[in-house]
């Protein structure tokens, strides 16, 4: 597969991670090197591993996973986005600062939610009978790099105290919109409109 095609796929897959990283930076306001590293590492790792898993599974479990993957991603993004929206309306400033989305279960949920589409890419590459290792590496590196950029942008906006609740609310809404868009892309709303 040509490197330009791999880069285009990697950039497309990294957009969810980029948007989530911006929302995370907004929420944290101040981001330490460890937080940058943790989020970039996990997003990059999950983005690299999911195509490998999809490629390995091939066609054997595709039908079972494809029926539900979009719902899994939606639920995870809606949960984290809903929490961000709720936190934006809380008056206690400490409540927002105590929870770190770059740690624990939230980090794992965000990593899975932003990389589920990469599983389908792995399936596709498997069907084309192409090697997965170079695409997986490029996908992981691009996702990690865009996560760092997104965190930086988010923390810059989030550091403005007046904008912080609005930015956190916007970040939560962005996560919900990404989740709804995933459902739309999988045709969940097709019967409603026609």
Sorting pLDDT into bands at 50, 70 and 90, what band is 170? Answer: confident
Q: Which is higher by pLDDT, 50 or 181? A: 50
Mean pLDDT of 25-29: 81
Contacts of 55 (CB under 8 A, 6+ apart): 122, 123, 125, 126, 132, 136
Higher pLDDT, residue 73 or 26: 26
| Domain boundary assignment for the chain | 3-193
Whole-model pTM?
0.71
DSSP assignment of 88-135, as one string? HH-S-HHHHHH--TTSHHHHHHHHHHHHHHHHHHHHHHHHTT---HHH
pLDDT tens digits, one per residue of 91-150: 445 444 557 888 888 889 889 988 888 887 887 777 677 889 999 999 999 999 999 999
């Amino acid at each position: 597969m040509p490197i330009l095609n791999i880069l285009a796929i990697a950039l497309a897959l990294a957009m969810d991670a980029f948007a989530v990283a911006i929302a995370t930076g907004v929420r944290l306001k101040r981001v330490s090197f460890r937080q940058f590293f943790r989020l970039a590492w996990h997003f990059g790792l999950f983005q690299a591993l999911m195509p490998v898993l999809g490629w390995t599974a091939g066609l054997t479990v595709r039908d079972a996973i494809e029926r539900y993957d979009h719902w899994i991603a939606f639920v995870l993004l809606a949960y984290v986005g809903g929490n961000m929206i709720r936190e934006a309306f809380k008056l206690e400033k400490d409540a927002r600062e105590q929870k770190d989305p770059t740690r624990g279960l939230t980090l794992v949920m965000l990593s899975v939610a932003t990389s589920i589409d990469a599983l389908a890419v792995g399936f596709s590459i498997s069907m084309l009978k192409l090697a997965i290792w170079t695409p997986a590496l490029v996908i992981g590196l691009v996702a990690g790099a865009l996560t760092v950029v997104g965190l930086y942008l988010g923390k810059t906006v989030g550091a403005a105290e007046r904008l912080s609740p609005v930015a956190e609310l916007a970040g939560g809404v962005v996560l919900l919109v990404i989740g709804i868009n995933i459902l739309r892309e999988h045709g969940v709303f097709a019967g409603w409109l026609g």
